A and B are shown apart, each in its own frame.
Chain A
Amino acid sequence: MATGKDLTGALCEAVERCAATGGSLTIVGAGSKSFLTRGVEALPADAGGQLLSVAEHHGIVDYRPEELVLTARAGTPLREVERVLAQAGQHLPFEPPQFHGGGTLGGAVAAGLSGPGRPWRGALRDALLGVELLNGRGEVLRFGGQVMKNVAGYDVSRLQAGAFGTLGLLLAVSVKVLPRPSVERTRVFELPPAEALVCCRAWARRPYPITATCYHRGQLRVRLSGAEAAVTQAAAQLGGDDDTSSGFWPALRDQRLEFFAEPGLWRTSVPPAAALPAEDCLVTWGGAERWWRPGDRQAARRQAAAQGGYARPYDGSFGVRTGAHLSGAESRLSERLRQAFDPHRVFNRNLTSTAEADLAD
């Protein structure tokens, strides 16, 4: 099964060298999410900075469809993973975004982003079963594994999801995969915003085979997935019309919809029933995720916090772990954790901000 190229040795050496000389490495996969990391440019070379590409460390290492698990090196393109899975009638349940058509599996884990199906099919971190990790001392560490149920040791694997490489360089990951549903249909409803949210919440308490929702400018789209009979029955019960457009959900996932083109985009993650902002807003995840461009940024932060969630710009600051969104205790603990994995600050030094840099957006 093993294909591709194993660059573990070279990556280890690069890390060891940096740890010894006080240099720093900026980890890059395909670069498709570089717009989320303000400091993706390496520190200047004369300051010991170096760009470290993981893209050439690629290849699917192990995949047996009946195990529902795929193991691949971090640089493996998401497209290749999807292609191989599709051949066996399976897919990545967390639908990682493929911005500009690209992205690697390691990059998907580092960014921790999940697609439109997240509330129903689980987040990327939910599907993450194991990682092979290079820590800041240049040690190759293995956590988790290739089985669904595994409580041996701390769950260091899931901790990597969304850590943007600041807790180590991912060498390989094992993810849970699932059979593709035999049928997928999208129903469209014309509704005012508040009513759409009420519908989404009411349907969440009923056993419908819903696997995605998206509300924008008066239109609520609901994706139904599963066996033919179940999908047909649910479509009849929910009402609405069949969506005649095609490719809506991948376009939403990869942010190719026109709505995403304008600058100034923010992402809000809140309890799904939380009141919607007055601005033009694209609502996904049954209400739990909102995309918009707030007029008053401080007010947007305050409101999301008051609702029990958080709001952040979806730009170069997104990959930076800032104290602005974390309590003092969590911020201090996070810093100690980073220290535990990367004592010499070898990895992505630019993505671990200091308190002063916070709230600069």
Chain B
Amino acid sequence: MTDSPAAARRARRVEALLRAELPAASLITDPLARKTFESDGLTALREVPWLVALPETEAQVLAVLRICREFRVPVVPRGAGTGLSGGARPLARGLVLGLSKMASIIDIDLDNAVARVQPGVRNLAISEAVEEHGLYYAPDPSSQIACSIGGNVAENSGGVHCLKYGLTVHNVVGVRLATIDGEILELGGKGLDGPGYDLLALVMGSEGMLGVVTEVTVRLLPTPPAKRVVLAAFAEVSAAADAVGAIIADGLIPAGLEMMDAPAIRAAEDFVHAGYPTDAEAILLCELDGVAAEVEADLARVSRVLELFGAFSLTVAQTPEEQARLWLGRKSAFPAVGRISPDYYCMDGTIPRAHLADVLKRIGDLSASHGLAVANVFHAGDGNLHPLILYDANVPGQLAQAEALGERILELCVAVGGTVTGEHGVGAEKLDPMCGQFDAPALEQMHALQAAFDPHGLMNPGKAVPTLTRCAEIGGMHVHGGRLPFPHLPRF
């Protein structure tokens, strides 16, 4: 940084204070080492941070926050860095507060069926640690082998099983939160509610803007003894989309209900040879779990509905290996698409299921008019779309074109009563689309809420909630109702 002598003195002072509070390996100042932290999973947004602190204890977290508060240094909390919305994108004059060194499982309490863990513990590591007791932690974001539970709390992460088992908010019963004020808030615990405002729910998905999570208590569920997976192939995207609503209207809540369209099917099949029908325009992958008798009954019902809605083939996995193979295609879909296109841009809107067929068709139209292909692979059961926009960053203008198409898709999601982000978060990426989803008073209320936790705006500034100025500049402050195609729907 080329700064005034006063600023340079201040910078040296901050570094010296941090060095006094942290172990030597926990403060990273070397430019090359800092570059490792320049982005999260959304690599298009990069910035090398001024400093990186990797505390080992809650006391060290508090010390770092105290110094940052005193010297007004912005703090960007970071878990495993797998986030897809730039929520952990650093600031050139800010400090990245990485929780990767706080990665111990503190306590597995079988009597209360909960585990108390540090924020840097990997999502999957929790399930692995309790597997021998027939228990698991339900939310399973696709990055679960790498992503951390603290990051899951910040993003309110989902996964393929949220339809039945909920998101992070439904499966975390307590957190310890260090605020920029230097306080520790103990929210929730091993019980099921607390006596004050539901701050625990508020912290879920707050993208590191209310405080730093230093401990998480998760509830553990019994592993379902039986599981069946069925793959249904359709000649029409709209038929598959309608079957999704019909399964749920029939009174069934599958553990997972995923959909892929033709480009995604073919890419996945070429990549991992999961045995997917490459002549299908769409497939549905439906997982049912529970006790054996119930699962068999549900499988029969789901199969009936799928056939009724025109599935031309049904494949029911007969062994755990076959189940794994059917899932492999879905779980490899993103990298598979990465093989057929130099770059892709992953969207994350959610829509009411009733609009699935219509929205997919309109995404197809937008894709054609923007001249960029789109592959769809998504959580159909909860209406959470992941259109992958294929582009080539080396072709001048294509990135901008992909971003423009992405924004049109998110506008479409909002227009039918959905949201611009179902599970990836707003981060630094979806600030502009937020201007279309919320009006000025709602955004202002969110800023006021944040100020209650962080009066100086030091926690992950510039993420999650756009400023009114920004919305005014892009002209995106939409008047609800006036321009939207479904004026009779309440616009929440």
Residues of A in contact with B (beta carbons under 8 Å apart)? 2, 61-62, 64-69, 71, 89, 112, 118-119, 122-123, 125-126, 129-132, 135, 139-156, 158-159, 161-163, 167, 172, 174, 178-180, 182, 201, 204-209, 226-227, 229-230, 233-234, 269-273, 285, 288-289, 308-310, 312, 321-322, 325-327, 329-331, 333-334, 336-337, 339-341
| A155–B294 CB distance below 8 A | no
When the two chains form the complex, which single residue of A61, A71, A233, A325 contacts B195, counting CB atoms closer than 8 Å? A325
Report A321 CB to chain B, min CB distance, Å. 6
- Tell me if B100 counts as interface (CB < 8 A to partner A): no
| B-side interface residues, number (CB < 8 Å) | 103
| B202–A179 CB distance below 8 A | no
| A159–B198 CB distance below 8 A | yes
When the two chains form the complex, which single residue of A122, A129, A205 contacts B110, counting CB atoms closer than 8 Å? A205
Report A212 CB to chain B, min CB distance, Å. 13
- Tell me if B133 counts as interface (CB < 8 A to partner A): yes
When the two chains form the complex, which single residue of B156, B202, B382, B438 contacts A147, counting CB atoms closer than 8 Å? B382
Q: List residues of chain A with CB within 8 A of the CB of B379.
A: 149
Task: Offer 15 A-B interface pairs, CB within 8 angstroms, sorted by A.
Answer: A66-B245, A66-B246, A71-B492, A148-B384, A149-B167, A154-B450, A155-B204, A155-B205, A156-B445, A172-B490, A174-B492, A209-B291, A230-B293, A271-B190, A333-B199
Report A309 CB to chain B, min CB distance, Å. 4
Q: List residues of chain B with CB within 8 A of the CB of A326.
A: 195-196
A347 CA / B249 CA spacing, docked (Å): 40
Which B-chain residue is minimally distant from A154 (CB atoms)? B446
Stretch of B35-43, B64-72, B347-355 at the chain-chain interface: B347-355
- Quick one: which of B351, B383, B419 has the most chain A CB within 10 A? B419
Q: List residues of chain A with CB within 8 A of the CB of B181.
A: 329
Q: A122-B170, A233-B293, A339-B452 are in contact. Are A112 and B156 (CB under 8 A)?
A: no
Report B317 CB to chain A, min CB distance, Å. 20
Q: List residues of chain B with CB within 8 A of the CB of A207.
A: 222-225, 290-291
When the two chains form the complex, which single residue of A149, A163, A285, A322 contacts B162, counting CB atoms closer than 8 Å? A149
| A141–B441 CB distance below 8 A | yes
A273 CA / B189 CA spacing, docked (Å): 13
When the two chains form the complex, which single residue of B245, B253, B418, B441 contacts A145, counting CB atoms closer than 8 Å? B418
Which B-chain residue is minimally distant from A287 (CB atoms)? B112
Which residues of B from 465 to 492 have beta carbons under 8 Å from A?
465, 480, 488-492
| B446–A155 CB distance below 8 A | no
Q: List residues of chain A with CB within 8 A of the CB of B253.
A: 178-179
Report B415 CB to chain A, min CB distance, Å. 12
Residues of B in contact with A (beta carbons under 8 Å apart)? 109-114, 133-135, 155-156, 158, 162-163, 166-167, 169-170, 179, 181, 183-187, 189-199, 201-202, 204-206, 220, 222-225, 245-246, 248-249, 251-253, 290-291, 293-294, 296-298, 350-354, 379, 382-384, 417-426, 430, 434, 437-439, 441-443, 445-446, 448-453, 464-465, 480, 488-492
Which B-chain residue is minimally distant from A69 (CB atoms)? B352
Q: List residues of chain A with CB within 8 A of the CB of B189.
A: 271, 308-309
| A271–B492 CB distance below 8 A | no
A358 CA / B245 CA spacing, docked (Å): 51
| A321–B446 CB distance below 8 A | no
Which A-chain residue is minimally distant from B427 (CB atoms)? A151
| A156–B446 CB distance below 8 A | yes
Q: List residues of chain A with CB within 8 A of the CB of B419.
A: 145, 147, 149-152
A206 CA / B291 CA spacing, docked (Å): 11
Report A215 CB to chain B, min CB distance, Å. 16
| B492–A126 CB distance below 8 A | no
Q: A66-B246, A149-B162, A153-B438 are in contact. Are A159 and B418 (CB under 8 A)?
A: no
Q: A336-B452, A337-B452 are in contact. Are A155 and B420 (CB under 8 A)?
A: no
When the two chains form the complex, which single residue of B192, B417, B434, B489 contacts A152, counting CB atoms closer than 8 Å? B434
Q: List residues of chain A with CB within 8 A of the CB of B488.
A: 2
Q: List residues of chain B with CB within 8 A of the CB of A321.
A: 195-197
When the two chains form the complex, which single residue of A67, A159, A288, A309 contacts B202, counting CB atoms closer than 8 Å? A159
Q: List residues of chain B with CB within 8 A of the CB of A150.
A: 350, 419, 421-422
| B190–A329 CB distance below 8 A | no
A158 CA / B252 CA spacing, docked (Å): 26
Report A1 CB to chain B, min CB distance, Å. 8
| A147–B352 CB distance below 8 A | yes
A130 CA / B194 CA spacing, docked (Å): 21
Q: List residues of chain B with CB within 8 A of the CB of A329.
A: 179, 181, 183-185
Which B-chain residue is minimally distant from A331 (CB atoms)? B196
Q: List residues of chain B with CB within 8 A of the CB of A288.
A: 191-192
Q: List residues of chain B with CB within 8 A of the CB of A340.
A: 445, 448-449, 451-452
Report A355 CB to chain B, min CB distance, Å. 14
**Beyond A142-B492, A153-B437, A178-B253, 10 additional pairs, beta carbon < 8 A:** A65-B249, A153-B442, A179-B252, A209-B290, A226-B294, A270-B191, A272-B190, A272-B191, A288-B192, A340-B452
Q: List residues of chain B with CB within 8 A of the CB of A230.
A: 290-291, 293-294
When the two chains form the complex, which single residue of B156, B294, B439, B452 contacts A209, counting CB atoms closer than 8 Å? B294
| B351–A112 CB distance below 8 A | no
Q: List residues of chain B with CB within 8 A of the CB of A167.
A: 197
Report A92 CB to chain B, min CB distance, Å. 15
Which B-chain residue is minimally distant from A204 (CB atoms)? B113
When the two chains form the complex, which single residue of A126, A163, A174, A309 contacts B197, counting CB atoms closer than 8 Å? A163
